[in-house]
Amino acid sequence: MSAAAKEEITYVTIASDLHRVGGGYAVRFITQHMDDGSPFISCEWSPYLPTPRETRRKVDMKRYDQALAQFLQSVAERMVGETGGRHDRT
């Protein structure tokens, strides 16, 4: 991809609502992009990132999985809406 083409790309950050996942924890998912444009999904925990033990004992993983699936579905719907279902690969 040429430098001129890279300048035209606009990266969109999408954030989910805060989802309660049990044990007093909540999580928010966010799409982000690395410096080279590679996309990734991060998550923010509230009030803090649970330890592995807290995750096993307190976090309802079914609720976490449902929240992540809902977020991914909303990202997919937004992508299809913006492209009209086209997947132009140049």
pLDDT of 30 over the 90 cut: yes
Whose structure tokens read 């790309």? 9
- Quote the CA–CA distance of 64 and 33 in Å, as a whole number: 23
pLDDT at 10: 77
Tokens of 18: 């805060």
Mean pLDDT value across the chain: 86
Q: Kindly list the distances between the CA atom of residue 36 and the CA atoms of 1, 21, 33, 47, 82, in Å, as whole numbers in the listed order.
A: 12, 33, 8, 31, 22
Give the H/E segment covering residue 63: helix 61-83
Q: What pLDDT score does 80 carry?
A: 82
Of the pLDDT bands very low, low, confident and very high (cuts 50, 70, 90), residue 17 is: very high
